[in-house]
Structure 1
Amino acid sequence: MSNHLLSSFPVLLIFLFSPTNLAQSPAQAPAVPVAPTVPVTPAVPVTPMVQAAPTPSGSPPNITAILEKAGHFITFIRLLKSTQTDTLIRNQLKADSSNGLTVFAASDNAFGNLSTGALNSYSDEQKAQLAKFHLISSVLSITDFQTVTNPIATEAGPSIPMNVTESGNQLNITTGTVNTTVTGTVYTDNRLAVYQVDRVLLPLYFFSTPAPAPGPVPSKPKKKAPAPTGLSGDASVSLSGAVRVIQRQLGVVSFGGISCCRTSFVCLS
C-alpha cells in the first residue's frame, strides 16, 4: 500500500503543476486600431489682391473702407482724404445719373518708389489733381478697355488724359511720364471698379516747365538830326534869325548881324 502511494506521488505532482491547472493570467485588452493618417492639405496662401465683399444694394461703395480692407494703401487713402477726393467719389456714386467710377489705386510700395520728398513738394492743387488723375468717370471692367478710345479723360480734367490699353487681360497704362500695368483687381461691382497699380500715375504736366511770357520789345533809340557843320553853297543857311540867303556856289560873309554877298557886295539886313 505504501509502496503504491509513493509510486503515484510523482504522477500527482505532475498533475498539480501541469499548465492546464495553473491559474491563467488575465487576458490582455485587444489593441485599439489606429486610424490611418490623413494627409494635411497645406493652406492656400491668400494673394494680396482679394476682392472685397460687394456693398449691400442701395448703399454706395465706401472707397476708403474697401482700400483699408485690402491693405497696403495707407498713403493713397491719406491722399484721398487730405484732398477730399474720397468725398467726391462718395457723392458721385450717390448720384442717380452717375456712370460709376474706375479707380487706379497706387499701393504703398508705389509711393515708396517716388523720389524722397516728392509728394510733400507738390502744392495742394497739384495733390488734388494727382488724386483725381487716378479716377475715370465711368466704371470699366478689364474687357471694357478693349473698346475705349484713347486718350481717356480723367477726373483731373480733359487736358490731363492717359492712355489705357488691354492686351491679354492685362491693362497697360501710360501717362507720358509713367508706364505701368494693373497688378490686380481690388473691388468691382456695377458702380465702382478699383484696380491696383504699383506706380504712382504722375501727369505729364507735373514735369513740363512753361515757357516764360515774352517781355516788352525794347524800343530803338531815335537818331538825332545831325547838327549843321557850316556854310555850303548848296545849303539853306539862317543868319541873325531874320534873313535867309540861298545862293548856289557862293560864299556868305556876316558882319555884326548884317549878311553880305561877296560877289555883289550887296548887304541885306
Structure 2
Amino acid sequence: MQQSIFSLTLLLLFFHCTNTLSQSPASAPVAAPAQAPSHHPSHRPHSSSPPPGPTDVIQILLKAGHFITFIRLIKATHVDFQLTSQLNSSTDGITVFAPTDTAFTNLKAGALDSLNDKEKLAFVQFHILPRFLSISDFQTLSNPVKTLAGSDDRYPVNISTTDSSVSISTGLTKTSIANTVYTDKQVAIYEIDKVLLPKLLFPPATAPAPAKSAETPEINPKDASSAMSSVLHYNGALVLGVVLAAAMLFL
C-alpha cells in the first residue's frame, strides 16, 4: 500500500514538472528608459564690464595735435595725476584752457625757464578750473574765477561773455576761447590762442623813463650862472668902449 502511494506521488510530480517546462518563460519586465540627468543652468552672477575710468585729458590733447608744449608741462608738473584724482573724487568735473603750441612760441624767449618747479606747477594749474563749465555756464560766473592754482588775489582770472565770445583776462593776458576741443558733461577743454600769465609769476617790467626832448636840453644851474656873468662882463666892456669913443670925438 505504501509503495502504491509512493508511486502515485512520483507520477503526480512528473506531470507537474512536465507542465511547467512546456510553458514559455515569462517575459522580463521592460525597464523604463534611463532619463538623461537634467542640467540646470548655473546661477553665476553676470560679470559686467568694469566701469570706465575718468576722461584722459592727455589723450584728448594728443589727438587734437597742436598742444604738445602744454602736454609736456602737464606731465612735467604731474598735474595729469591731479586731474585723475579730481575726476575720481568729485562730480564737479574740470574745465581746461589749453594754449596752442603757437601761443607758447609767442612768449618771450626763456619766460618759462625762469620759473622754479613750484611756480611751474602753479602756472599749469592756472589754466584749469576745478569744475565743468559749458559755454553757456560762463554767463553766470562771478569774478574772479577760482582755478586749481587758487582763488585769492595772487592768481586772479576774470571771465566775461558777449553774444559771440568768451573772454579771459589775467591782468597781463587777454584772450578768448577759440574753439571747443572736447566736452562730455564732466570735462571741458577749450582752445585759447594766448598763454595765461598770472602777475605773481610774471610781474610786468618797469616802464622806461620818457626820452628827453632835444629842444629842451637840461641846463646845469652853475653853467647858467657862469653864462650870465660872461654876458654881463661883455655888455659892461661894450658900454665902456662906447663911452670912451664918444669922449674922444669931443676932444
Give the count of matched residue pairs.
Answer: 153
Q: Give the aligned partner of residue 15 of structure 2.
A: none
Q: Describe the superposition over 1:132-185 as per-residue Cα deviations: whole angstroms up to 9, x where unpaired.
A: 000001100011000111110110011212001111131100001000011000
- Give the structure with the higher percent helix: 2
Asked whether the 8 Å contact 2:93–2:187 carries over to 1, the reply is yes
Per the normalisation by structure 2, the TM-score is 0.59
**In the aligned structure 1, how far is the partner of 2:124 from the partner of 2:188?**
16
Match of 1:66 among 52, 56, 60: 60
- 1:57-107 deviation per Cα after TM superposition (whole angstroms, max 9, x unaligned): 732110100000001100000000000001101111112x33000000010
For residues 208 and 170 of structure 1, the distance between their equivalents in structure 2, rounded to whole angstroms, comes to 28
Q: 1:170 to 1:57 in 2, by over 3 A?
A: farther
Do residues 194 (structure 1) and 189 (structure 2) align? Answer: yes
**2-side partners of 1:158 and 1:145: how far apart?**
17
Write out the 4+ residue segments of structure 1 that deviate beyond 2 Å after TM superposition: 56-59
Instruction: Quote the residue 2:79 is aligned against.
Output: 85
Following superposition of structure 1 onto structure 2, how do residues 150-165 of structure 1 map, counting pairs within 5 Å? 150-159=143-152, 160-165=155-160
Partner in structure 2 of residue 106 of structure 1: 99
More strand by share: 1
* 2:234 corresponds to: none
1:134 alignment partner in structure 2: 127
Does the 8 A contact of 1:99 with 1:137 survive in 2? yes
Q: Which amino acid aligns with 2:179?
A: G
Alignment RMSD (CA, Å): 1.6
Q: In structure 1, what is the equivalent of residue 170 of structure 2?
A: 175
Alignment of 1:106-125 (within 5 A): 106-125=99-118
> In structure 2, how many angstroms separate the alpha carbons of the residues matched to 1:98 and 1:80?
22
In structure 2, how many angstroms separate the alpha carbons of the residues matched to 1:92 and 1:66? 17
**In structure 2, C-alpha distance between the alignment counterparts of 1:94 and 1:190, rounded to whole Å:** 14
> Which runs of no fewer than 5 residues in structure 1 stay unpaired?
1-55, 210-269
- Code of the residue aligned with 1:133 in structure 2: it is F
Structure 2 CA distance for aligned equivalents of residues 169 and 154 of structure 1: 24
The TM-score normalised by the length of structure 1 is 0.55
> CA offsets, 1:208-233, max 9 Å, x none?
49xxxxxxxxxxxxxxxxxxxxxxxx
In structure 2, list runs of 5 or more residues that go unmatched. Answer: 1-49, 205-251
Percent same amino acid among aligned pairs?
46
